[in-house]
Structure 1
Amino acid sequence: MLGLSAIRDTVMNVAEAITAALEIETEIVDANLEIIGGTGRYTHKIGSFEEDGNIDSGAIYGKLLKSGRNYVCVDPESDLEYDPQEGEMAEICCPIKLEGMIVGLIGLVAFNEEQRDKIVMNKDTLTLFLERMAELLASKLSESEKRNQLQSIVESIHEGLIAIDNDCRIKSCNYEAEKLLGIKREFIEGSLLSEIWEIKDAERVIKSGIAAKDKEVIYRGRGEAEKRFLCSVVPIQAENREMRGFSALGAMILFQNISEVRERMYQMTGVDKHTTFQDIIGVSDPMLRAKRRTLQVSSSDSTILITGESGTGKELFARAIHAESPRNGYPFIAINCGAIPEMLLESELFGYEKGAFTGADSRGKPGKFEIAHKGTIFLDEIGDLPLHLQVKLLHAIQNRRIERVGSISPIDIDVRIIAATNKNLEKMIAAREFREDLFFRLNVIPIQIPPLRERDGDIELLLNYALDKFNKLLGKKIQRFSHDALRSLLNYGWPGNVRELENVVEYAINMEMSEEINKGNLPDKILRLQRSTGGRISLKEKLDDYQRVLIEECLNETGRSTEDKIIAAKKLGISESTLYRRIRELGIRG
């Protein structure tokens, strides 16, 4: 609780007012016996202590601070409790109480006969008067305490706060507002809002009394790069709204750095489950080499390009890199450059301003780069990025800045970039389908993920892991693979890698009714390897199986409509007529 020293000016004003009204000297002390206010001979004693500051000395003020009673002395010589030190002839003393505690005393002290006569003749009235003055000081102290508590809250919040009156003049602000705007408080307070920051909603909120919440607002300081804030303008309503119509007395502007808001949201929601290198299953030499090399570069901020066939787990490696990096407390944002229509990809990556295109959100929208601020962005299927966006990505990497669609103002970004592809980018460069300068920017640290067929010893581990995983997901209790089923699975070439392996195990668990997965419940494409030829299979059959998996995977990604098949043919590097012919020959669902 605050002491009377917190309202020292008010205490002095009350003491002077009492003396002016009664022509009797006044002394006001706090709970520590410090003289906070006084008149006459007490003026020069302000700041010193009565009774040596010892509340347990047995002197009268110490007793009154303990008991909380009123005290009247009209004859110091006969009053055993009173011990005059400076020729005091009479005194009335009243405790100042706040919330049941004694926070000080007010004393009316007579030093001449005239003053003594006033106390003797009017002691009851003067005692009541002092009680009211004590209540006044207590209420002022309470107000000050609440104001200090409110100020402490205002200063401790993570948001910048600016209070304006109904003329949009700034009445006060907090430290966070100073810090975010980069302007000292003395230059903010007293200025018109428009002189500091153009917030169009402020005047409308004051007139309508309706808050404007969570809007993105740009601040442009003198000679500084623009800053983006998440801003709310809340009206300060009059107590009697009927008398004031719909207008407000003013408004509070609350704002935060938009990047920091996203960081806190990410940290609070914990949406990204960290994947570590221990979560990547594999003990084969090629896999251990890939994990060792990737772990070695995790702590760096350099750009990484992960290459490998579809289904090898490139995103898993990217997540593990992020989890082992100093950025692991910030977002990991993944975007598949080949899965988003070209016309939408730019706005997904870089965001857009309001009104940037037909159908755009009226508030604008941040892109993946902004959302990933201080974290990691994973650009999967980077080989599918259109050429005009390759230029924009190159500039973002080089300058550490991006521009939203429809904006001319750059936004600083702090992200680590990990890209991945299953394509041969060097061949694409030769065919002028991928920019060489972008390739060099991305390929600072190349990581090659081995295909499953080269990972001796890992297939059985992955099969058992997938068995356990899908048992839990599907509510089954299948214990193992039969000997024949396991031999068929180990002999399979796995063109779709780990993703295909998981699909096969999930299919088999759905089909199997016993405690072990039998060979007969494996997919047909695996059973075809175990024909009467003793498991031998021709090159044509192997090629057909491989093509079937590739086409199925591509169609699953693009879709199966006529337009989707045009895209699929382009991705597969074959003509549309060839795609339709192979779909028909291989028995693929169209």
Structure 2
Amino acid sequence: MDISLLDIKDHVKKYAGAISSLVNVDVGVVDKNMVRVTGTGLYKNIEGVSALGSVYKNTLLTGKTNIIENPRYHALCSECLDKNRCCEKLEIATPIYCNEEIVGVIGLVCFNDEQKEKILKDIDAYLNLTKQIAEFIGIKFYEYQENLMQKDRELTLNTIIDNMSKGVIISDCHNKITRINSIASRKLKINSNILGESMELISQNDSLMNEEIFTLKINNNEYNVAGKIIPLKSFNKVKSNAFIFEDVKKISKNIVEFTGNNNIITLDSIIGCSNATKTLKEDIKKIATTNSTVLITGESGTGKELVARSLHSQGDRRDKPFVVINCSAIPDTLLESELFGYVKGAFTGANQNGRIGKFELANSGVIFLDEIGDMPLYLQAKILRVIQEKKIERIGSNKSIDLDIKIIAATNVDLEKKITEQKFRRDLYYRLNVIPIKLLPLRERKEDIIPIVNNLMKKYNVLSAKYVHSFDENVKNALLNYDWPGNVRELENVIELMINMCENNDVLTADLLPDNILNQVPTSKSFFKNLDLNIDNTELEDFEKIEKEYIEKALIKYGEDTEGKKLIAKKMNIGLTTLYRKMKRFNIKTYSGETYL
């Protein structure tokens, strides 16, 4: 920002005129670039013209006041370009300072001996007067400079505010709105006519993602927002505040997206060609747009969460949060806080900022209560109330939060049996079972097995950087004849095992199958002879047999050192500690015959 005395020439002209009238001499003022700003007498109306005198130039360079009693003959005049035309009798050049920087020169000039004698007779008084006028001009220049900087700061601040992703409202000491950015206007659905209106912020003594929750009141309208109040200071000590905020629902949505619970699953993700699968897809299309509660039942591994996510993606809430909570995976003591959240200071050990619960996170969207059959009785009563009233309260709070939410529940247990055992509330069951969806086990829809296998081969080809394009007839027969107690989850584990163990082959062969699957295949003796297997009448082994065989084969393939085990754990999608625990439980031995402890 390059400014000079020319920018305040009207003020400089007034000062020059005042001193000229007082001492009856001519006055000239130049800026730091030796450009004439204003003057009187011979120097009148020549603003913007470059000055040629060497005296002013010396004053700009040295910062000293120069008194030239013999113009044209003084040493400083020897280099003056205007020397031959000079008719001055006396010249006094005084620097004009602004914050210790020389911004110009003011000069008193006499053109006759009478003026010269008058000035020299009382030279100290005239020098003081000239310095005072120079100080006044410097102060005025400083004020002008500060005003420009203030406007520049305001422009920069307004640009930043208008380009923020959050809402900003600035209010004065009387809580009158003086500034509101476009984001705030859109979030609150108000326009700039709101300027001058009163606003009120009421703290809810709660927080969300380190932002305090407020009720914002403007014109009798209330808004639930989370943000911070920032006091603003100014040189005139006038108090004002900036309120930077975000809509609570928007924060909740961002949390859901950040935690990765918003994976997009469509009907195409449900693989199969059986009549049961086709009917399931048609049912999903019919009920996806309803807000009624859905209860999905079926054995473990049948794809209950897959169906829940499909209902979400097909429904009107597809662009809203989808929040999952596994009711059996969280300790009873923590489940309530996970579901409902809590305010800061609600209990010993609570996060000092409070915590938002899953129901609140899912607000406007869908919540999926997986394994709801394992929910403790005392919480079932609260869930029933949520379904009935569509309201929740955080732990430690007495403020209700309205919910606009669709509830999908799932379980692999017989809820009617649990009701008779008094382990599940009958009234909750009826509230959940408005739209029932029962998923058949894989053994009852074996037409789906081969399409699922083909899809899984594509998935694990990508993950394992392999190209397995098919499987032989023996594998097909084995897969179709097995009962799959672990359903699709077990089938996926088997295919992952086979692809990881097939080395560079592009066809899956029966020697890669776990023994418990092979032992159930009613095929020819020559087939078993080729496999060199000793088949007996061993009963069907449990699902853990697959894991044990996978780990044993993987240890042979990748090695027993730490790096090998890390790779195995990664491929099994478990932690290294969990792998060691499984090896101990399955009694897996090392090459030397020792058992893992």
- Could you tell me which residue of structure 2 aligns to residue 464 of structure 1? 454
* Deviation, structure 1 residue 558: 13
Letter in 2 for 1:516: V
Q: Distance in 2 between matches of 1:388 and 1:558?
A: 32
Match of 1:325 among 294, 315, 318: 315
CA contact (8 A) 1:347 1:405 kept: yes
- Could you tell me which residue of structure 2 aligns to residue 498 of structure 1? 488
- Could you tell me which residue of structure 2 aligns to residue 232 of structure 1? 228
**Matched residue of 2:359: which SS?**
helix
* Deviation, structure 1 residue 331: 1.1
- Could you tell me which residue of structure 1 aligns to residue 411 of structure 2? 421
Does 1:521 pair with 2:512? Answer: yes
**Matched residue of 1:323: which SS?**
helix
Does 1:219 pair with 2:219? Answer: no
Does 1:172 pair with 2:170? Answer: no
Q: Distance in 1 between matches of 2:153 and 2:498?
A: 69
Letter in 2 for 1:376: V
**Matched residue of 1:426: which SS?**
helix
Letter in 2 for 1:527: L
CA 1:387 to 1:537, structure 2 compared with 1: closer, same or farther past 3 Å?
A: farther
* Deviation, structure 1 residue 156: 9.5
TM (normalized to structure 2)? 0.58
Does 1:443 pair with 2:448? Answer: no
* Deviation, structure 1 residue 458: 1.2
- Could you tell me which residue of structure 2 aligns to residue 411 of structure 1? 401
CA 1:496 to 1:549, structure 2 compared with 1: closer, same or farther past 3 Å?
A: farther
* Deviation, structure 1 residue 319: 0.6
Matched ranges for 1:74-473 at <5 A: 159-165=166-172, 169-170=175-176, 172=178, 174=180, 197-198=202-203, 214-219=210-215, 228-238=224-234, 250-263=240-253, 272-473=262-463
Q: Distance in 2 between matches of 1:225 and 1:419?
A: 36
Q: Distance in 2 between matches of 1:178 and 1:252?
A: 15
* Deviation, structure 1 residue 409: 1.1
Q: Distance in 1 between matches of 2:544 and 2:468?
A: 31
Letter in 1 for 2:227: C
142-151 or 443-452, which moves further after superposition? 142-151
CA contact (8 A) 1:495 1:549 kept: no
**Matched residue of 2:342: which SS?**
coil
Q: Distance in 1 between matches of 2:164 and 2:282?
A: 44
Q: Deviations along 1:397-444, whole A, 9 cap, x unmatched?
A: 111111111111111111111111111111111111111111111110
Q: Distance in 2 between matches of 1:384 and 1:270?
A: 25
* Deviation, structure 1 residue 278: 1.6
CA contact (8 A) 1:214 1:232 kept: no
CA 1:200 to 1:264, structure 2 compared with 1: closer, same or farther past 3 Å?
A: closer
Q: Distance in 2 between matches of 1:325 and 1:140?
A: 57
Q: Distance in 2 between matches of 1:309 and 1:200?
A: 45
Letter in 2 for 1:251: N
Q: Deviations along 1:164-199, whole A, 9 cap, x unmatched?
A: 45x6754535498799889999999586x8x65359
CA 1:433 to 1:155, structure 2 compared with 1: closer, same or farther past 3 Å?
A: same
CA contact (8 A) 1:339 1:558 kept: no
CA contact (8 A) 1:237 1:249 kept: yes
- Could you tell me which residue of structure 1 aligns to residue 472 of structure 2? 482
**Matched residue of 1:320: which SS?**
helix
* Deviation, structure 1 residue 479: 2.5
Q: Distance in 1 between matches of 2:412 and 2:375?
A: 13
**Matched residue of 1:311: which SS?**
coil
Letter in 2 for 1:172: T
Q: Distance in 2 between matches of 1:387 and 1:225?
A: 40
Q: Distance in 2 between matches of 1:141 and 1:215?
A: 35
- Could you tell me which residue of structure 1 aligns to residue 77 of structure 2? none
CA contact (8 A) 1:266 1:330 kept: no
Matched ranges for 1:6-17 at <5 A: none
CA contact (8 A) 2:472 2:509 kept: yes
Q: Distance in 2 between matches of 1:199 and 1:462?
A: 51
CA 1:149 to 1:248, structure 2 compared with 1: closer, same or farther past 3 Å?
A: closer
* Deviation, structure 1 residue 448: 0.8
**Matched residue of 1:339: which SS?**
coil
Q: Distance in 2 between matches of 1:487 and 1:410?
A: 58
Letter in 2 for 1:299: T
Letter in 2 for 1:283: C
175-184 or 297-306, which moves further after superposition? 175-184
Instruction: Give the paired residue count.
Output: 410
CA 1:558 to 1:227, structure 2 compared with 1: closer, same or farther past 3 Å?
A: farther
Q: Distance in 2 between matches of 1:373 and 1:213?
A: 16
Q: Distance in 1 between matches of 2:296 and 2:383?
A: 17
* Deviation, structure 1 residue 252: 0.6
Q: Deviations along 1:216-268, whole A, 9 cap, x unmatched?
A: 3242879x9996421122342446xxxx9xx9954311223211333366679
* Deviation, structure 1 residue 377: 0.7
- Could you tell me which residue of structure 1 aligns to residue 138 of structure 2? none
CA 1:149 to 1:186, structure 2 compared with 1: closer, same or farther past 3 Å?
A: same
147-156 or 424-433, which moves further after superposition? 147-156
Q: Distance in 2 between matches of 1:428 and 1:558?
A: 32
CA contact (8 A) 2:288 2:312 kept: yes
Q: Distance in 2 between matches of 1:426 and 1:274?
A: 33
Q: Distance in 2 between matches of 1:376 and 1:451?
A: 26
Structure 2: 5+ residue stretches without partners: 1-145, 529-533, 550-571, 588-595
* Deviation, structure 1 residue 274: 1.6
CA 1:267 to 1:145, structure 2 compared with 1: closer, same or farther past 3 Å?
A: farther
CA 1:190 to 1:302, structure 2 compared with 1: closer, same or farther past 3 Å?
A: closer
CA 1:190 to 1:309, structure 2 compared with 1: closer, same or farther past 3 Å?
A: closer
CA contact (8 A) 2:201 2:214 kept: no
Structure 1: 5+ residue stretches without partners: 1-138, 202-211, 566-581
Q: Distance in 1 between matches of 2:209 and 2:368?
A: 32
Q: Deviations along 1:38-85, whole A, 9 cap, x unmatched?
A: xxxxxxxxxxxxxxxxxxxxxxxxxxxxxxxxxxxxxxxxxxxxxxxx
**Matched residue of 1:457: which SS?**
helix
**Matched residue of 1:541: which SS?**
coil
**Matched residue of 2:539: which SS?**
helix
CA contact (8 A) 1:332 1:378 kept: yes
Letter in 2 for 1:354: K
Q: Distance in 2 between matches of 1:467 and 1:213?
A: 41
Letter in 2 for 1:541: E
Q: Distance in 2 between matches of 1:508 and 1:332?
A: 33
Task: Quote the sequence identity (%).
Answer: 40
Q: Distance in 2 between matches of 1:406 and 1:558?
A: 36
